[in-house]
């Protein structure tokens, strides 16, 4: 497993805004989008390119164009807060959706919705702000491979060591991009120090 922690002063700045319990949800949403841009840039760093030629106002010159169109898959509902950044960055991406919810008693994940575009041989980028126990992520990654994805990447804002260990055990080849690796999970399987319930804070619920 390859873990990439995005190291940038602005990324750390926006992460701190997300962590602050006093941040209102409108500011929280804006900080999420800004931080996600750093994650999206890292997640798409290895997309295949092809050479091309363009004509500037002065002369002809060589350039590059992205050759592959990945599939971005937000894990509902919190992952929706990260989606638009990927679409704005790469308008040609396909988008799939997987709905997961956590049983608050057992902390286990269960799926309630799945809609994916054709996946055969493509790169899939699963996005979810929080990687806690890893249960939801493991189920989604497996579903993407089963649907035909050649490569799966996982993008999180905050990850816990317990979730990373679970994903590494199940998918040693996977690449995970995150803004922070936090300390641990508490007895309720919430990430510490974390930033609370991301979906509730994102949508003001």
Q: Are 26 and 201 in contact (CB under 8 A)?
A: no
Q: State in Å, rounded, how far the first CA of the chain is from the last one.
A: 35
Confirm whether 88 is a catalytic residue: no
Q: Which of 20, 52, 88, 106 is catalytic?
A: 106
Question: What is the distance between the alpha carbons of residues 119 and 14, in angstroms, rounded to a whole number?
Answer: 33
197 is catalytic: yes
Catalytic residue among 19, 29, 77, 102: 102
Rounded distance between C-alpha atoms, residue 36 and residue 116, angstroms: 22
Please state, as a whole number, how many other Cβ atoms lie within 10 Å of the Cβ of residue 6.
Answer: 20
Alpha carbon distance 45, 94 (integer Å): 17
**102 labelled catalytic:** yes
The verdict on whether 106 is a catalytic residue reads yes
Diameter of the chain by CA atoms?
65
Q: Which residues are catalytic?
A: 102, 106, 197, 200
């Amino acid at each position: 497993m390859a873990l990439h922690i995005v190291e940038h002063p602005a990324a750390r700045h926006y992460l701190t805004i997300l962590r602050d319990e006093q941040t209102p949800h409108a500011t929280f949403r804006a900080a999420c989008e800004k931080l996600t841009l750093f994650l999206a840039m890292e997640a798409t760093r290895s997309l295949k390119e092809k050479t091309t030629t363009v004509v500037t106002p002065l002369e002809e010159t060589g350039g590059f164009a992205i050759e592959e169109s990945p599939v971005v898959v937000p894990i509902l509902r919190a992952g929706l807060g990260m989606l638009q950044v990927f679409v704005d960055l790469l308008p040609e991406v396909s988008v799939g959706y997987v709905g997961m919810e956590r049983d608050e008693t057992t902390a286990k994940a269960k799926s309630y919705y799945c809609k994916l575009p054709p996946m055969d041989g493509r790169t899939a980028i699963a996005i979810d702000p929080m990687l806690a126990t890893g249960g939801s992520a493991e189920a989604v990654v497996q579903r993407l491979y089963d649907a035909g994805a050649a490569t799966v990447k996982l993008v999180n804002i905050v990850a816990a060591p317990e979730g990373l260990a679970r994903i590494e055990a199940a998918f040693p080849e996977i690449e995970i991009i995150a803004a922070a690796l936090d300390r641990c999970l508490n007895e309720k399987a919430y990430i510490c120090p974390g930033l609370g319930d991301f979906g509730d804070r994102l949508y003001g619920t």
